[in-house]
Structure 1
Amino acid sequence: MTPDGHRRLILIRHAKSSWDDAEMPDHDRPLNPRGKRASAELGQWLASRDYLPDQVLCSTAARTQQTYAALGLEGAPEPELARALYHAEPETMLAALKAATGQVVMMLGHNPGIAAFAALLPAEPPHHADFARYPTAATLVVDFEIDSWAALEPHRGSALDFFVPSGRD
């Protein structure tokens, strides 16, 4: 958990999805085996650092829901599914986060919007070669010294961690 007067965001791009069925609508594409492995690795990493959400905002796409399920976080809440987060622009993600009620919020979404959103959050971006491209299953953990998400302003966060599972792109 975070101290009073703080909020934490765990921002996750979905893991690698399957392109086996070219006729399948994008929204319905599931994770491929590598995506499932990367999600499990990410879940272990999150749990090992006690980065556990009390609220989860998730795109309605199959691959984001499957990424969250494959994290295997014990005691984690059911995700709040939001169609607006499917291929959302940074402004849409910001609006969803400003309406959040949890102290530690996990948000799962898609590129290119999630990379742009991640870049808007910390005062100083993490020093990681993959941060700008935000590959599949990439995760930013950022803290804000605010009492409510409604007070969130861009470039005011403190990046705590940025993680990319080894079994991804």
Structure 2
Amino acid sequence: MKTLYLVRHAKSSWENALQSDFDRPLNERGLKSAPLMAELLKEKNVTPDIIVSSPANRATTTAGIFAGILGYPEEKIVQNMEIYTGGSSALLQIVRSLPDDCTSAALFGHNPVMTDFSNFLTGKHLDNMVTCGVVRIDMDNCSWKDAGERSGTLAWYEYPKKRE
């Protein structure tokens, strides 16, 4: 069995109107919710074998916070531009390319793609994965290459307001 965690980056700042979308940092709320959600995963004994993140500042910062709390070496976070620029098909290719010796993986990215990808993999409908929301998808297949439409089961969806 494979387990995939989809994590939407924590709340970002729109304070500087001149700042590029790619460079936007987390705001105060994001800096509070990322550790909260990472602690929740730690309580659930989640330790991803691999973390792949969009290289956008808000996503890598969120991934770094999770990595620190979950005991994953921050320098091993894989950055993939396709998470920032691509759609569900790009995320599917990333998942299909994961090494099979990894039984669990976490992808850190953006909406609407994270919501769409969860819906694609599970056949369940989430309206909107909120900032710092985490979806766990269980896949009965033995290889990441077998990931596809409705190949997974939505095990749970957690988000900050549910925990506060």
Aligned to 1:3: none
Aligned to 1:36: 31
Indicate if the aligned counterparts of 1:38 and 1:167 stay in contact, CA closer than 8 A.
Answer: no
Q: For residue 157 of structure 1, report the CA deviation from its aligned partner.
A: 1.0
The 1:51/1:9 distance shift into structure 2, 3 A limit, reads: same
* TM-score normalised by length of structure 2: 0.90
Q: For residue 132 of structure 1, report the CA deviation from its aligned partner.
A: 1.5
Aligned to 1:112: 112
> Partners of 1:110 and 1:74 in 2: how far apart?
21
Q: Among residues 71, 88, 91, which one is paired with 1:90 in the alignment?
A: 88
Can you list the C-alpha shifts for 1:64-123, whole angstroms capped at 9, x where unaligned?
011112223242142100111114200000011100112100001111111111101124
Tell me which amino acid in the other structure corresponds to 1:119: N
Tell me which amino acid in the other structure corresponds to 1:86: Y
Can you list the C-alpha shifts for 1:8-62, whole angstroms capped at 9, x where unaligned?
0000010100111100010000000100111011001100001220101100000
Q: Is there any run of 5+ residues in structure 2 with no aligned partner, and where?
A: none
Indicate if the aligned counterparts of 2:12 and 2:30 stay in contact, CA closer than 8 A.
Answer: yes
Question: 1:23-62 alignment to 2 at 5 Å?
Answer: 23-62=18-57
Tell me which amino acid in the other structure corresponds to 2:106: M
RMSD: 1.7
> Partners of 1:56 and 1:70 in 2: how far apart?
12
> Partners of 2:18 and 2:150 in 1: how far apart?
40
Tell me which amino acid in the other structure corresponds to 1:111: N
Question: 1:1-16 alignment to 2 at 5 Å?
Answer: 6-16=1-11
> Partners of 1:47 and 1:56 in 2: how far apart?
15
Q: State, as a whole percentage, how many aligned pairs show the same letter.
A: 27
Q: Is there any run of 5+ residues in structure 1 with no aligned partner, and where?
A: 1-5
| Greater shift in the superposed pair: 82-91 or 31-40 | 82-91
Q: For residue 167 of structure 1, report the CA deviation from its aligned partner.
A: 8.5
Count of residues in correspondence between the two structures? 158
SS in 2 for 1:153: coil
SS in 1 for 2:122: coil
